[in-house]
Amino acid sequence: MNILLIDDEPFSLKLLQRQLRNAGFDRVFGFEYAREALAALQAEDARPDVIICDLQMPDLDGIEMLRHLAQAQFAGGLVLISGEDERVLQTAQRLAHAHQLHVLGALHKPVEPRRLTRLLEQHSSRVPSRNHNPRPSYDAGQVKRALQQNELINFYQPKVDVGRGTVSGVETLVRWLHPTDGLVGPDQFIATAEENGLIDALTKTVLQQALTQMKSWRETGMNFQVAVNISMDNLVNLEFPDWLADSARDAGVQASSLLLEVTESRLMRNRLLVLDILTRLRLKGISLSIDDFGTGFSSLAQLRDLPFDELKIDQSFVHGAWRDPSLRTFFDGSCNIGRQIGLKIVAEGVEDQSDWQFLREVDCDLAQGYFIARPMPAEQLPDWISDWSRHPN
Ligand SMILES: [Mg+2]
């Protein structure tokens, strides 16, 4: 594993270098100047697997470094170190995530060698050989063809009742089963679909598949609510509520088993139209959830104006809220608002045992996240449910 270490304090740099070598990491390249490290990064033959970077550097600070790494499409692991307080380190970590950099962890100076080597060992065991190629993106023609060839399939991620431990529903998450590239995630094709007028067809495909699936689950006695994601930006068709209610009826599925998770990615162009459509969906018995609450445009104004049934607290306010007082404040605040207007509260981003334990101690109805289950194909769900009901976490 190639490790690139950047720290402007020569003593601290040498110390870390020695500690890493003692721990068995022998290809450690140390730099006192961030600009030199960046130049080394451009040399294709010795791309590092991990970069350990101090946030305070005189020539180029850690935040600028993150930006350069994102531009260079650095796909390896990143460890941030800093002598500043916890919030600076956390903000830098969030910034790195936003740049889609893969952050292994953030450590305080002086760095505890055991914590650092643990992060590196976890990384090397998880990613034996990292693929540095950026993920492919697809053009409108390819996405259109995928729709025509029925290559889009739904995965389903369970939502569980925190108090009772039972499965209350699933969220539908679309995947593209690409003939040569394998399983492709929505972040690689949804934007293309939105920009090229294909999102309506895509959303309808996902909904139709979900309805068919709900029918066959019902026939085997699995009755739960199925959520489908929808963006307000795409709600431009007044026929949509009727289309959905008719499709549900044709599939033999009750409208009340269907939930739409609503997000907004840009400013709404036509507020009145969206209000009309969402309200009529509600009148037809379809439930509405405000998704990723607390981020982007998923705001208090939406909550005030639209007839939601459920509030999904964004994962960035859930994961780690048990140990971070400021996250905890935002989490509690969101719960309180939701409660007071009578909404069901869902926490996204339950990634570990501590998150799950935290949710069991606060006032939250449902939970969802990798710790409970990853999104899975429909046929894996019955087995997962029987496992979960035997050993709920
Ligand atoms: Mg969602």
Rounded distance from Cα 31 to ligand 1 centre (Å): 42
The CA R_g of the chain, rounded to the nearest whole Å, is 23
Residue 100: DSSP 8-state:
T
Query: How many helices (DSSP H) and strands (DSSP E) are in the chain?
Result: 14, 15
Rounded distance from Cα 393 to ligand 1 centre (Å): 23
Q: Where are the alpha helices (DSSP H) in the chain?
A: 10-22, 34-42, 62-71, 86-98, 113-126, 140-148, 190-195, 199-219, 240-251, 271-283, 300-305, 325-340, 353-361, 381-390
Is the pLDDT score of 268 beyond 70? no
Is the pLDDT score of 45 beyond 80? no
Rounded mean pLDDT of 277-281?
95
Rounded distance from Cα 171 to ligand 1 centre (Å): 7
Rounded distance from Cα 330 to ligand 1 centre (Å): 19
Nearest CA to 101 out of 86, 79, 118 is that of 79
Rounded distance from Cα 261 to ligand 1 centre (Å): 5
Rounded mean pLDDT of 53-68?
87
Rounded distance from Cα 238 to ligand 1 centre (Å): 23
Compare 83 and 313 and report the one with higher pLDDT. Answer: 313
Helix or strand (DSSP H, E) at 392: none
Rounded distance from Cα 244 to ligand 1 centre (Å): 18
Residue 367 pLDDT: 98
Interstrand relation of 258-263 and 366-367 (parallel, antiparallel or unpaired): unpaired
Contacts of 24 (CB under 8 A, 6+ apart): none
Question: What's the pLDDT tens digit per position in 182-191?
Answer: 999 999 999 8
Rounded distance from Cα 364 to ligand 1 centre (Å): 17
Residue 390 neighbours by CB distance under 10 Å: 7
Rounded distance from Cα 333 to ligand 1 centre (Å): 20
Rounded distance from Cα 10 to ligand 1 centre (Å): 47
Q: Which CATH number is correct for 140-390, 1.10.10.10, 3.40.50.620, 3.30.200.20, 3.20.20.450?
A: 3.20.20.450
Is the pLDDT score of 258 beyond 90? yes
Q: What mean pLDDT is reported for the chain? A: 89
Is CATH 3.30.420.480 what the domain over 3-126 is classified as, yes or no? no
Is the pLDDT score of 130 beyond 80? no
Residue 315: DSSP 8-state:
G
Q: CA 194, CA 202: separation in Å to the nearest integer?
A: 9
Helix axes 140-148, 199-219, angle to 10 degrees: 30
User: Which pTM was predicted?
Assistant: 0.71
Q: Where in the chain is the domain with CATH 3.20.20.450?
A: 140-390
Please, which pLDDT band fits residue 44 given cuts at 50, 70 and 90? low
Rounded distance from Cα 222 to ligand 1 centre (Å): 21
Percent of the chain exceeding pLDDT 90 equals: 58
Rounded distance from Cα 157 to ligand 1 centre (Å): 10
Rounded distance from Cα 77 to ligand 1 centre (Å): 27
Question: What's the pLDDT tens digit per position in 185-222?
Answer: 999 999 899 889 999 999 999 999 999 999 999 999 99
Q: Where in the chain is the domain with CATH 3.40.50.2300?
A: 3-126
Q: Around 298, how many Cα atoms within 13 Å sit in the side-chain half-sphere?
A: 22
| Structure tokens belonging to residue 211 | 């309805």
Q: CA 367, CA 262: separation in Å to the nearest integer?
A: 17
Compare 327 and 391 and report the one with higher pLDDT. Answer: 327
